[in-house]
Amino acid sequence: MILLRLISWPYARKHLLRWLLTMAGIVLGVGVFVGMHTANQSVLAAFNETINRIAGTTQIQITAGEAGFDEDVLEKVQNVPEVRAAAPVMEATLSLTALSADSRGKSNLLVLGVDMLGDRSIRNYDLENADGSAVDMTIDDPLVFLAQADSLLITKTFADKHGLAQNSRLKLRSMQGDLVFTVRGVMKPGGLASAFGGDLAIMDIYAAQKFFGRGRKFDRVDVALQDGVTLEQGIAKLRAALGAGYEIQPPSSRGEQFEQTSRTYSLASNITSIFALFIGMFIIYNTFAIAVTQRRTEIGILRALGALRGQIRTLFIAESLIAGCVGSALGVGFGLLLAKAMSGYIGKILTDTYGVSQSVGGLDVDPRLIVGSFLMGVATSLVAAVLPAHAAAAVDPVKALQKGSRQMLGEGENARRRWAAVACAVASSVALLFSRNNIIFYVGFLLAGLTAVLLAPSLSLWLSHLLRPVLSWMRPVEGRLAADSLIQSPRRTSGTVAALMLSLSLVMALGGLARASYTSLSEWMRVALNPDLFVTTAESVTSRTFVFPASLGDELRAVPGVAEVQAVRSVRVNVKGAPVMLVALDVKSVERRAHLPPVQGESNFMYQRTASGAGVMASENFVRLHGGKLGDVLEIAAPQGTLYLPIVGVVRDFSDQQGSLLISRETFVRAWKDDAVNVFRLYLAPGANEAEVRQRILNDFGSRQRLFVLTNKEVRDYVNRLTDQWFGLTYVQIAVAVLVAILGIVNALTVSITDRRRELGVLQAVGGLRQQVRHTIWMEAAAIGIIGLVLGLGLGAVELYYAIEISRRDLIGIDIAYSYPFGIALLLAPVILAAAFLAAVGPAESAVRGSLVEALEYE
Amino acid sequence: MGNSTLYSLRSCSLRSYKQVIHLRGVSKQFDGKRKVVALERLDLDIARGEMVAIVGPSGSGKSTLLNLLGGLDHASAGEIEIDGALLSKLTDDELTRVRRDKIGFIFQFFNLLPTLSATENVSLPLHLRGWPRKKIEARAQELLDLVQLSARTTHLPDELSGGERQRVAIARALSVYPPILLADEPTGNLDSATGTEILKLIRDLHQRLNATVLIVTHDHAVAESCPRTIRIRDGRIESDLRRAETVAL
């Protein structure tokens, strides 16, 4: 403790900027980790909260995927003696444009269609009078509600937000065109009214069926059991009464399903945030390694005065503990701010990608995550300081007290690292041979990264030697001194270079993956998404809130200029325990028009069997993520009985991250007793004008029902935008990683100008202008940038292979062709040089502003 | 008009060409927790071609004086004129150009750059002036011949003895044959034999090149070898002694 006060504290005060930069590494690492997880958690919590608030006293929910089921199911449920109450529900999210002058832009409204008479035994509707006093809701109210199909209950929050009150009128766009609703009641905040952030409206279930065009179907039935009946008993009885094809589970399972659906996103964000922390670790390591080198004399004196090796080691570990604690605490705070800023954005991505809406209000802060992240930050700091602390303990007091000698990276130390790198490289290569096993594969991945980290000091030294003549040629004095500075102090450079290398390899791997994904996606869109027009119920292609009646297809077919119409129905169903997308389509038409080639299987057989309802086409990612091969029989639960369909072909399909199953429309209609359509895909007759046909459809049908006509380009743009959003978040993380690396460069240069103080003083004393001194610092920064860039681009080539492989195995499950992103590499060169220059500005100015006399006397 | 002539025009006076160093009322004060007066109202003239020793006890202000003359530090008050250039009127870069063109420094601890060879160290100021490579190489060779180090051109400072390092430092100081040489304890880090050798070299160069040489020293022998000795105590000139004869070392 006394050593901390006498030795460490004065050093930290003297090098305050460096310590702040070091802590910035931890702050960013922990911050990104906490931020990403808290934002994800908040989105999930918002979704769960909405489920819980809507659930009321519901113990069991009965669903049949997204397609819903016939009304007669309700009667079957009500007839089960163990059921106390059963209430049908329709639930959908509407995207609203501005409702009033006060409310600008778009907002989402969760609409709940309920049977008001029965529903009050499940949910509590707490209404208030116009003057704010509570209303005792008598039976007359629901009758009024039922008697008028235009009735709407809204929450106080929603009413205040949009300037609505009792008896206000509200125009909403339904499948029957614009409908005007009347606000018949305003629910007090709290309880049910707090679901979906208060953006909730209740309408009569039969009005909702019409509104959403769902025919005589319910989305689900909410069940409360008789007293004394356990959940398991209730589920068993209901399963017996309804048969297969229904999901009968407690409300909490919906949250788990959402979690499972968005697991790809969670996994991707986990990988990158851990990476950020890993890079932060290098910054800490670098700082401590430099500190040990700089404080050799001090350590030598302490050792000469009798300090034990253990005491020196403890001193450095204690310093890292303090830095880790302060940095992690600040990181947690920064992470929460980041989460607040990001949760809305993440919510939007998840809504757009998975078609599941949620309204993120406040943050859901998990104390375990906060404590865990704090400990992780501290542990990272400690791990990073172990080697430097060991090196400090090993300092020879005699050598340390010799003035003027610089400490080189020991040749023995370097050789040991090189041998360890060779061993890791060999082990990583061997792991590739056995990479079918996921654990071996990931171990190989880690070993490949470790190889690069171990080789970084030797390679950066070697590259510094290579750069020396080039830099000398550019600027004989400044360039040579810059290169020599790197060569003389490999400890100072190698940690920064390693951090930069890792950051850039991340950029290359993720950027390369993004580019390769775009290429594959474009190819898929070219083949599979080739209709000229898409008639949808929403601006978003992923939205499945509304559905069209099948009869619209015949009417569209009759529109002049339309040659062919394909009806597509997409619903999420549970297959092999995972929520996958079931796509029902006109298989023969698809075969004729798009002819998506199979990745596995024989084309004619595949289309023939699927069209006849004797098979299913599975997407490549379904097979990869959930297991299965050609010929495997899949069990697909449907309201009219379970379908047993063999996989007759595997196709590349990007429709859904969890995988998709393509079946014939006839099979779906039969098994779900549902002929509704999500999207009509239109092929135009030769010579037909796309804009004219589109306008004709809008004129003929737009006024009488909710309908959007999107061109092929608009759909492709939408898909690309969605992909951009995904990678957009990744790019934010990359930016953080690069920022951490830039902090490393600032750190290294700050130390460099301290180390080179006398050298820079001599340079000025013998006639070097300030600009020339600046040049040498800039060139040193540029050299660090170039070395980091070269190593990063090299490691990036390897990381890209692993990124594609991880994506194939555990993320999207699709084979993406390896293609090195030379464009990104070319783009990175000026970016990193500019970043290095920026990082050098402060240190360079500090170098030219110091006292020359002190610099020349500096020892 | 080149930058190198800019400062001369701006600050040139009509002072006698003979006076290469001219100080009037120069003071230097260090502001810290306690103010320390290092030099107090110093007046001094040094003629072109003089060889002057500056002596005094530690902390008397002799190194501070050398730093002010070399433009490494700024005076708190008074005027310093170096070969016609009024230092207080110059910008930082102009001051550097004065250093580059008119002053050569020789330091006690040599201050050679450890990663550069003897030739490269000598070439350093010439590169900074942007001379063509061939001219630099020729001049560096000429200077290393002058300090009798022709055989050690490619050696790094670590591979040279103390005396050899100081010879390289002297060659570097002479790189543009400046009119003024400032030496801060040039023999202070050397054994007496080597110190004598270095002093001989400085005297020899002074005579051959007619440079003005100022040597800050503790060493009486060094002081006695100079025709003029200025003794400083407590920031003031205590004595200014000119000798008819000097002690040959």
Most confident of A220-234, A277-291, A333-347: A220-234
CA distance A779 to B114: 19
For residue B93, the chain A residue with the least C-alpha distance is A769
Contacts of B65 in chain A (CB under 8 A): none
DSSP per-residue codes, A334-358 = HHHHHHHHHHHHHHHHHHHHH----
Query: Which tokens in the block code for residue A810?
Result: 């555990």
Q: Do A762 and B93 touch (CB under 8 A)?
A: no
The residues, any chain, with a CB within 8 Å of residue A154's CB and separated by 6 or more, are A164, A170, A183, A185, A186, A187, A200, A201, A202
> Of A481, A487, A770, which is closest to B113 when you measure between CB atoms?
A481
| Number of other CB atoms surrounding residue B94 within 10 Å | 21
State which amino acid sits at residue A645.
L
Q: A468: helix, coil or strand?
A: helix
For residue A851, the chain B residue with the least C-alpha distance is B73
CA distance A68 to A576: 20
Helices A757-765 and A770-806: crossing angle, nearest 10°? Answer: 140
> Of A762, A767, A851, which is closest to B113 when you measure between CB atoms?
A762
Q: Does domain B3-242 have CATH number 3.90.1010.10?
A: no
Q: DSSP secondary-structure letter at B214? A: E
Confidence label for B94 from pLDDT (cuts 50, 70 and 90): confident
Q: Do B128 and A759 touch (CB under 8 A)?
A: no
CA distance A605 to A667: 17
Q: Do A764 and B128 touch (CB under 8 A)?
A: no
> What does residue B49 show for φ and ψ, rounded to 5 degrees?
85, 0
Contacts of A768 in chain B (CB under 8 A): 96, 128
Strand pairing class (B77-82; A616-619): unpaired
Q: Do A851 and B73 touch (CB under 8 A)?
A: yes
Q: B106: helix, coil or strand?
A: strand
For residue B175, the chain A residue with the least C-alpha distance is A766
State pLDDT tens for residues A629-674. Answer: 899 999 998 888 889 999 999 998 887 877 899 999 999 999 988 8
The residues, any chain, with a CB within 8 Å of residue A516's CB and separated by 6 or more, are A804, A816, A817, A818, A819, A821
Contacts of A479 in chain B (CB under 8 A): none
Task: Pick the closest to residue A465 from A837, A783, A789, A833 (CA basis).
Answer: A783
Most confident of A238-247, A484-493, A743-752, B128-137: B128-137
Contacts of A762 in chain B (CB under 8 A): 111-113
> What does residue A566 show for φ and ψ, rounded to 5 degrees?
-110, 130
Tell me what percent of chain B is helix, strand and coil, each rounded to the nearest 5.
Answer: 40, 25, 35
Q: Do B125 and A766 touch (CB under 8 A)?
A: yes
State which amino acid sits at residue A725.
Q
> Of B111, B116, B125, which is closest to A767 when you measure between CB atoms?
B125
Contacts of A771 in chain B (CB under 8 A): 93
Task: Pick the closest to residue A297 from A395, A387, A408 (CA basis).
Answer: A395
Q: Is B3 on the interface with A (CB under 8 A)?
A: no
Strand pairing class (B77-82; B85-86): antiparallel
The residues, any chain, with a CB within 8 Å of residue A440's CB and separated by 6 or more, are A431, A434
Contact residues, B window 165-184, toward A, CB-based 8 Å cutoff: 172-173, 175
Q: Do B128 and A763 touch (CB under 8 A)?
A: yes
State pLDDT tens for residues A316-374. Answer: 888 888 888 998 999 999 989 988 887 777 777 666 665 555 666 677 888 898 998 89
Question: Do residues B242 and B65 lie in contact, with contact meaning Cβ atoms separated by under 8 Å?
Answer: no
**Strands of the sheet with B103-106, listed across from one edge:** B103-106, B180-184, B212-216, B51-55, B228-233, B236-242
Q: A187: helix, coil or strand?
A: strand
Query: Among positive and negative, which fits the CA dihedral A711, A714, A718, A724?
Result: positive
ipTM higher than threshold 0.90: no
> Of A477, A758, A766, which is closest to B172 when you measure between CB atoms?
A766
- Computed over every residue of chain B, the mean pLDDT equals 84
Strand pairing class (A151-155; A177-187): parallel
Contacts of B125 in chain A (CB under 8 A): 766-767
Mutate to test the interface with B, among A468, A763, A766 (most CBs of B within 10 A): A766
Query: Which tokens in the block code for residue A821?
Result: 């992103």
Contacts of A758 in chain B (CB under 8 A): 111
Q: What angle do CA B38, B39, B43 make, to 5 degrees?
A: 170
pLDDT of amino acid A469 = 92
Is pLDDT at A750 greater than 90 in this prediction? no
Confidence label for A142 from pLDDT (cuts 50, 70 and 90): low
State pLDDT tens for residues A765-810. Answer: 888 888 888 999 999 999 999 999 999 999 999 999 998 988 888 7
Query: Which tokens in the block code for residue A761?
Result: 């003083």
Question: Do residues B162 and B189 lie in contact, with contact meaning Cβ atoms separated by under 8 Å?
Answer: yes
Helices A770-806 and A438-474: crossing angle, nearest 10°? Answer: 160
For residue A478, the chain B residue with the least C-alpha distance is B128
State pLDDT tens for residues A55-77. Answer: 778 888 888 777 788 888 888 99
Q: Do B93 and A771 touch (CB under 8 A)?
A: yes
Å between A523 CA and nearest CA of chain B: 56
Q: Which residue has the tokens 């339309």?
A: A562
Q: Is B102 on the interface with A (CB under 8 A)?
A: no
Task: Pick the closest to residue A269 from A565, A91, A510, A79 (CA basis).
Answer: A510
> What does residue A412 show for φ and ψ, rounded to 5 degrees?
-65, -40
Q: Is B96 on the interface with A (CB under 8 A)?
A: yes
Interval A47-60 mean pLDDT:
79
Q: DSSP secondary-structure letter at A677? A: B
Question: Do residues A290 and A755 lie in contact, with contact meaning Cβ atoms separated by under 8 Å?
Answer: no
State pLDDT tens for residues A156-197. Answer: 888 888 888 888 888 877 776 677 888 888 888 777 777 777
Confidence label for A129 from pLDDT (cuts 50, 70 and 90): low
Q: Do B105 and A765 touch (CB under 8 A)?
A: yes
Query: What are the C-alpha distances in Å from B111 to residues A602, A774, A857, A858, B173?
Result: 80, 20, 9, 10, 11
Contacts of A767 in chain B (CB under 8 A): 96-97, 99-101, 125, 128-129
Beta strands in A727-819 (DSSP E): none
Higher pLDDT, A152 or A11: A152
State which amino acid sits at residue A548.
F
Q: Do B115 and A771 touch (CB under 8 A)?
A: no
Interval A1-27 mean pLDDT:
73
Q: Is B107 on the interface with A (CB under 8 A)?
A: yes
Q: B173: helix, coil or strand?
A: helix
Q: Is B73 on the interface with A (CB under 8 A)?
A: yes
Q: Do A480 and B120 touch (CB under 8 A)?
A: yes
SS (H, E, C) A619-659: EHHHHHHHCCCCCCEEEECCCCCCEEEEEEEEECCCCCCCC
Q: Is B113 on the interface with A (CB under 8 A)?
A: yes
Is pLDDT at B153 greater than 50 in this prediction? yes
Q: Do B115 and A763 touch (CB under 8 A)?
A: no
Confidence label for A404 from pLDDT (cuts 50, 70 and 90): very low
Å between B235 CA and nearest CA of chain A: 18
Strand pairing class (A83-96; A127-128): unpaired
Query: Which tokens in the block code for residue A782?
Result: 């540029």
Q: Do A477 and B128 touch (CB under 8 A)?
A: yes
> Of A759, A762, A852, which is closest to B73 when you measure between CB atoms?
A852
Torsion of CA A93, A98, A102, A107, to 10 degrees: 30
Q: What angle do CA A711, A728, A578 make, to 5 degrees?
A: 80
Confidence label for B247 from pLDDT (cuts 50, 70 and 90): low
- Computed over every residue of chain A, the mean pLDDT equals 82
Contacts of A760 in chain B (CB under 8 A): none
CA distance A707 to A547: 10
Interval A132-138 mean pLDDT:
51
Query: Among positive and negative, which fits the CA dihedral A374, A377, A380, A381?
Result: negative
**How many residues appear in chain B?**
249
Å between A769 CA and nearest CA of chain B: 6
CA distance A548 to A567: 10
> Of A481, A487, A767, which is closest to B99 when you measure between CB atoms?
A767
Alpha helices (runs of H) in A56-149, residue ranges in sequence order: 72-78, 116-119, 140-147
Q: What is the largest CA-CA distance in chain A?
A: 100
Percent of chain A at pLDDT > 90 equals: 22
Å between B16 CA and nearest CA of chain A: 26
